[in-house]
Structure 1
Amino acid sequence: MMKWTSSFGLGVIIAMACGVVQAKDEGFYVGASLGSATIQQSGSDPDIGDFDFDENDFAWKIFGGYQFNGLLAVEGGYVDLGSPSSSGTKVDPYGLDLFAVAGIPLGPVRAFGKLGGIYWDSDLTDSGDKVSDDGFDVAAGVGLEFELGSFAIRGEVEYLDVLDDTWMYTLGATITF
């Protein structure tokens, strides 16, 4: 009896896990998110001298991707990190990102993590002097997504190695085709 009960219990758990993995709609998706970016940068430049910058501003992004199954996706998009300013210094960064996304479906909620890179460009203006910088750096994030069929609401936190240290906090939506 004990062996049958254990086998039945294991079968129920496997069946539930298989159904959960299939919960996320597969295919192409698009989305948009709004939120805030916190940008930190310090350094020295011959034109503007020493500077230390730690501010936040309104940020947004548009993105798209392909969901291979309930677990794996690839995603890319455009990110505008706002134009925060402080004491006459203004930073204006934006970029294009690309991520591998891994998710764990838990019924209608899906936890996900992503790892990839961002090509970014930024202008730093201080008292009229402008310095431009760009690069390709690491990007990573974690989030939760609440799925309602092909529509989903997502919240996420992303670390972007833009300038010295950039964090982006957003709330958005996706639709899968």
Structure 2
Amino acid sequence: MKYINLLILSLMSVLICTSVQAKDEGLYFGASVGSASIEQSGSDYNLDDFKFDENDFAWKIYGGYQFSGVLAIEAGYVDLGSPSDLSTSVDPYGLDIFAVAGIPVGPVRIFGKLGGIYWDTDLKYFEEKITDDGFDLAAGVGLEFELGSFAIRGEVEYFDILDKTWMYTVGATITF
């Protein structure tokens, strides 16, 4: 039993160490598509009380620099769709920037990211239109399957836009 545990520990160490060294470093670009879930509620003397919770197609393009197998910085453009219901519609988009930390395990890299997003949105409630913008918190987690300089990525991101905004995407990156 003692030798089996030692063998498993040695094998895991080799996989982790070689994958850290194997991760391509340098400039990378990517694109992802998926879905955005947006929640907003409010009260205004012109708008009365309203509650909005809808989903729509979303996409993003991004680029970054991979400093090592573990650390990167990333920035991109995010389009969160134009979800609407019978009385309300929103059209949010933004520019984000993240510090990205990852743990490579074989060809898969688990990563988390923390940063901010400068966003702009148009909210339309019946005939009343409100434009809002700001810079707020952004965070995410994901998995990346690496094949040399090409990678397939799936991630979940939270943006502090409106009340709650979640984005679920699948995409690809290429490192130069």
Report deviation, 1:15.
4.5
Mapped contact 1:84–1:91 kept (Cα < 8 A): yes
User: Per the alignment, in what secondary structure is the counterpart of residue 22 of structure 2?
Assistant: coil
Aligned equivalents of 1:145 and 1:136: distance in 2? 27
Residue aligning to 1:167: 166
Letter of the aligned partner of 1:80 in structure 2? D
Report deviation, 1:13.
5.7
Mapped contact 2:21–2:69 kept (Cα < 8 A): yes
Mapped contact 1:23–1:107 kept (Cα < 8 A): no
TM-score, scaled relative to structure 1: 0.91
1:128-161: CA deviations, max 9, x gaps?
Answer: 2100111111110000001111000000000110
Aligned equivalents of 2:11 and 2:39: distance in 1? 50
Higher mean Cα deviation, 158-167 or 11-20? 11-20
Structure 1 pair 46–26 and aligned structure 2 pair: CA distance change class (3 A)? same
Mapped contact 2:15–2:105 kept (Cα < 8 A): no
Residue aligning to 2:150: 151
Aligned equivalents of 2:13 and 2:157: distance in 1? 33
Higher mean Cα deviation, 109-118 or 15-24? 15-24
Q: Which runs of 5+ in 2 are unaligned?
A: none
Aligned equivalents of 1:10 and 1:17: distance in 2? 11
Aligned equivalents of 2:109 and 2:75: distance in 1? 19
TM-score, scaled relative to structure 2: 0.92
1:96-136: CA deviations, max 9, x gaps?
Answer: 00000000001111110000000101110112210011111
Report deviation, 1:11.
6.9
Q: Which runs of 5+ in 1 are unaligned?
A: none
How many pairs align?
A: 174
Report deviation, 1:24.
1.5
Residue aligning to 2:87: 88
Report deviation, 1:18.
2.3
Note the aligned Cα RMSD (angstroms). Answer: 2.0
User: What are the equivalent positions in structure 2 for 1:15-26 lying under 5 Å apart?
Assistant: 15-26=14-25
